[in-house]
Amino acid sequence: MGRPASISVDTKTRIVLSVLAGEASIAQLASREKVSEQSIGRWKAELLEAGRTALAAGRSGPSTREQQLEA
């Protein structure tokens, strides 16, 4: 038995957002999408950590568009 086909980032994101929105449980989505519950749990943790990191980093200054407007 070989490795399953790679799952796109968009699909992983859609699945995790469905879990977070309460649209379906991890078990329901795992069954429907034919992936393991552990995979969905890992994707969820990764997405939340990346979001936390992004929020902690914040903005380091004005955006390019803001700079253009100020000029």
Walk along the chain (71 residues) and give the pLDDT tens digit of each residue.
Answer: 455 669 999 999 999 999 999 999 999 999 999 999 999 999 999 999 999 998 888 766 666 777 778 87
In a domain, 3, yes or no: no
In a domain, 19, yes or no: yes
What whole-number distance in Å separates Cα of residue 40 and Cα of residue 57? Answer: 26
In a domain, 31, yes or no: yes
Which range marks the domain in which residue 59 is found?
9-70
Let me know the angle formed at the C-alpha of 56 by 54 and 62, rounded to the nearest 5 degrees.
75
Q: What is the pTM of this model?
A: 0.73
